[in-house]
Amino acid sequence: MEQKAIDLKAADNVRLLAAAMVEKAKSGHPGGAMGGADFVHVLYSEFLKFDPNDPEWDNRDRFFLDPGHMSPMLYSILTLINKFSLEDIKNFRQWGSVTPGHPERDIKRGIENTSGPLGVGHALGIGAAIAQEFLAARFGKRVQHKTYVYISDGGIQEEISQGAGRIAGFLGLKNLIMFYDSNKIQLSTSCTDVSEENTYDKYKSWGWNVVKINGNDAAAIRQALKNAQNEKTRPTLIIGDTKMGKGIVTENNENFEGKCSTHGQPVSKSGGSFEMTVKHLGGNPENPFEIFPEVKEYYAQKLAEKAEAAKAEKAEEAKWAAENPELAKKYQQYLNNDFEIPALNDLTFDKATATRGSLGKTLAAMYGKVENLVVASADLSNSDKTDEFLKKTKAFVPGDFSGSFLQAGVSELTMAALCVGMMLHGGVKTVCGTFFVFSDYEKPVLRVAALMKTPAIFLYTHDSFRVGEDGPTHEPIEQEAQIRLMEQVDNHDGKMSTLVLRPADAYESIEAYKMAIANTECPTVMIGSRQNIDILPQGKCASQLDRAAQIKKGGYIVSQTKEGNPDVVLVANGSEVATLQGAAATIAEKTGKNVRVVSVISPRLFENQGEAYVESVIPSKARVLGMTAGLPSVFATIIPGFKKDVFGLTHFGASAPAGVLDEKFGFKPELFAQWAVEKLK
Ligand SMILES: Cc1ncc(C[n+]2csc(CCOP(=O)(O)OP(=O)(O)O)c2C)c(N)n1
């Protein structure tokens, strides 16, 4: 078969399967998927480097899909390369299937990223391209591959594309190739109803290499990809002029392409005819789930070629490893996050310290030990104290990725996605910092990271109204309650999807970072204070670090006014633990009760230890009172009567020095003691 003919046949096969799976599921998005078929066919058959026998090969090209609703396109092309069976795609969107409505990261099946929230997927891909540069700067030609990203009108419109496009252009990510499926139709309107932008010029102005082609023409796609592969300094955007619902026809066999109605429902419901469309695409309406014999043969040959090429490249890798044994060992350490986490026994704090500061110092102390750390900040490095780390290294700049820091500019959502994307690539461990109040800007990425079980670290400082003078816009109130809800959500492994740590003093900060860096199972959120916090008592522990290391159980006893069973347990995390510590003696004195102070850095982790441990720390017979600088519901799972028994803040903060706000809002030890004594009457 001639190239042109097989290209069309294969793309039609992708279209056929995409339309069929949506039709059978009675739900899904066929139109976009059918328009993008030509591109994915050319990409997967000729350009995308992978080893059919080793899906996790670290040197594979990465393909990141942004519009997750176009999953039928991805599942179809992955069926042509044997990652899915026809049975799998017949079960599209069904209970227990491996083909959920929107793709979920599954490397063994060729899915690099979970996608669905438009915009995020391509930013993850751009992050992956940054990780590659970071690794290439250290391991040279051992790291050689491309990152392909697929974006649609929705992703182009989402604000995150501004940040991601700016950074990719600025950094000159030459190994990044993005295809824009420009079909000019979105969910409920035509694109021209909402935008007149010149996307070509927009990306040009960010420093991209931009080309415009007919995105349904295999030859044009082939040429554009070839050119893009040779680009030496810039990321490439291929704007593909495509047809929504390519191949759809009506009952009367009339063209029904370019119709908004085909975006999000089965062809038969859109005004097109499923039967006639199947016929038009060369399929059998009785059994539309078919791989055409000539397509099967073509792909079998392509897969054999890819397996050969991968074998040859792996032989090169082995040669490199033999010639560079030290570097090869190190590379494996990077890939496996196999660094010993330092004990940091020599990191000491002898006076009240803001946890943003102790977190910053801890992170800096990790530099050079956990060698694959990449730290980012959204233009707050000198406030969120990631600059402690930056002082030891340098920021990425165009052409030089030998540093370990990403200055993301003011773009929190983008930064979060880039960092998570770097981790999806593998070989790095990321930390991204900003103010806690702006966690709201990052939340959608944290959620996707939680779903993917990506153990990125999200650092948030300036954690309460104690930010002070900046006023209520900068004072998180509900943010901890919001983010702790993620702790309550389980991932697909039935484990907590997010770990949230708000250390109570400098030593808990050290231990918290150790936990976050060691965490391979889910994202970790770290929350630090702007204001100084007294160091908590060491108690009977051998060292302050030993005392703080008890946070591994989520919560522990900090102090007690006398031996024996406590009558009253005071619970908090973060800076409020020190406030309770300051109040405990007064409460004991005024009530004659035995008062225990407990630090619960993570309520969910604490609960995970089991009833016996929880009972040993917070006995059910004791009266439990809590304190938080945010919404009392933070402790809902530990203190069921939180509305009455947790002293918190249920209103916005105000602009004034932090000490004044403490006074006004009742967050001084003596004021809490008064409140508690009243409660205990
Ligand atoms: C952040 C986000 N907002 C809204 C949606 C819902 N949604 C799914 S597809 C879509 C329109 C996408 O249009 P386009 O990207 O052009 O895809 P096509 O119509 O070509 O399939 C919308 C709004 C979403 N998935 N993510």
516 shares a domain with 420: yes
Which residues, in sequence order, are CB contacts of 186 under 8 Å at separation 6+?
Answer: 153, 154, 157, 194, 260, 263
Decide whether any atom of ligand 1 lies within 6 Å of the 186 Cβ. Answer: yes
Q: Is the domain of 126 the same as that of 265?
A: yes
Spatial distance between the Cα atoms of 612 and 602, rounded to a whole number of angstroms: 17
Q: How far is CA 460 from the centre of its chain?
A: 15
Contacts (Cβ under 8 Å, ≥6 apart) of 198: none
The alpha carbon of 342 and the centre of ligand 1 are apart by a number of angstroms equal to 45
What does the DSSP assignment read for 427-474? S-EEEEEEEGGGHHHHHHHHHHHHHHT---EEEEES-SGGG-TT-GGG
Domain identity same for 377 and 288: no
User: What pLDDT digit, counting tens, does each position of 605-625 carry?
Assistant: 999 999 999 999 999 999 999
Q: Which of 34, 102, 118, 190 to mutate to test the pocket of ligand 1 (most atoms within 8 A of CB)?
A: 118
pLDDT digits (tens, 9 = 90+) for 102-161: 999 999 999 999 999 999 999 999 999 999 999 999 999 999 999 999 999 999 999 999
For the chain (681 residues), the mean pLDDT of every run of 10, in chain order, is: 96 98 98 98 98 98 98 98 98 98 98 98 98 98 97 98 98 98 93 96 98 98 98 98 98 96 96 98 98 98 98 98 98 98 96 98 98 98 98 98 98 98 98 98 98 98 97 98 97 98 98 98 98 97 98 98 97 98 98 98 98 98 98 96 97 97 98 98 94
**Look-up: residue for tokens 């092309």?**
77
pLDDT on residue 109? 98
583 is a domain residue: yes
pLDDT of residue 325: 98
> Are the C-beta atoms of 236 and 176 separated by less than 8 Å?
yes
| Atom of ligand 1 minimally distant from the CA of 156 | 15
296 and 200, same domain (yes or no): yes
The confidence score (pLDDT) of residue 518 equals 98
The catalytic residue among 257, 412, 475, 487 is: 412
525 and 569 both lie in a single domain: no
pLDDT tens by residue, 216-228:
999 999 999 999 9
Report the separation in Å between the CA atom of 19 and the middle of ligand 1, taken as the mean of its atom positions: 18
Q: How far apart are CA 653 and CA 302, in angstroms?
A: 62
**pLDDT in the model for residue 251:** 97
Are 223 and 190 found together in one domain?
yes
Atom number of ligand 1 nearest to Cα 102: 25
Considering the domain architecture, whether residues 156 and 245 belong to the same structural domain is answered as yes
SS3 of 50-75: CCCCCCCCCCCCEEEECCHHHHHHHH
Same domain, 558 and 509: no
Quote the CA–CA distance of 681 and 673 in Å, as a whole number.
Answer: 12
The answer to whether residue 403 is domain-embedded is yes
Given ligand 1 and candidates 34, 74, 152, which is best to mutate, with the most ligand atoms within 8 Å of its CB? Answer: 152
What range does the domain containing 128 cover? 3-306
Q: What is the mean pLDDT of the chain?
A: 98
191 CA distance to ligand 1 middle (Å)? 11
From CA 37, how far away is CA 242, in angstroms rounded? 10
152 lines ligand 1 (CB under 6 A): yes
- Probe residue for ligand 1, chosen from 114, 186, 244 as the CB with the greatest number of ligand atoms within 8 Å: 186
Same domain, 505 and 579: no
CB atoms within 10 A of CB 140: 12
Report if residue 337 sits inside a domain: no
pLDDT in tens, 277-289: 999 999 999 999 9
196 is catalytic: no
CATH number at residue 597: 3.40.50.920
Report the half-sphere exposure of 463 (CA within 13 A, side-chain side).
32
- Nearest CA owner, ligand 1 atom 10: 187
Q: Which of the listed residues 470, 503, 532 is the one where a domain comes to its end? A: 532
Identify any residues that bridge with 532 across adjacent strands, giving them in sequence order.
354
Q: Is the dihedral of CA 478, 480, 483, 488 positive or negative?
A: negative
Q: Which of 532, 560, 595 is the last residue of a domain?
A: 532
CA distances from 49 to 110, 232, 301, 640 (A): 12, 19, 15, 54
pTM of the entire structure? 0.98
- Interatomic CA distance for residues 93 and 25, integer angstroms: 6
Task: Report whether 481 contacts 633 (CB < 8 A).
Answer: yes
Say if residue 528 is in the same domain as residue 556.
no
Q: Is 655 exposed, middle or buried (0-12, 13-18, 19+ CB in 10 A)?
A: middle
Distance 71 CA to ligand 1 centre (A): 12
Residue 617 inside a domain? The answer is yes
Of 551, 461, 558, the C-alpha closest to 515 is 551
Total domains present in the chain: 3
| b/e burial code for range 244-259 (CB count within 10 A of at least 16 → b) | bbbbbbeeeeeebbbb
Rounded distance from Cα 33 to ligand 1 centre (Å): 12
**Whole-number Å distance between alpha carbons of 287 and 272:** 18
Task: Give the Cα separation of 456 and 449 in Å (integer).
Answer: 8
**CA 544 to CA 128: how far, in whole Å?**
39
Helix (H, G, I), strand (E, B) or coil at 148: strand
Measured from the Cβ of residue 30, the count of other Cβ atoms closer than 10 Å reads 33
Residue 475 belongs to some domain of the structure: yes
CATH number, domain of 51, equals: 3.40.50.970
How far does Cα 427 stand from its chain's mean position? 15
Q: Does residue 520 form part of some domain?
A: yes
Same domain (yes/no): 158, 257: yes
Residue 111 lies in a domain: yes
Four-point Cα dihedral 88, 94, 97, 103, nearest 10: 90
- Residues 477, 463 contacting (CB under 8 angstroms): no
**What pLDDT shows up at residue 1?**
85
Same-domain status, 296 and 377 = no
CA-closest candidate to residue 365, choices 538, 259, 510, 266: 510
The answer to whether position 486 is within a domain reads yes
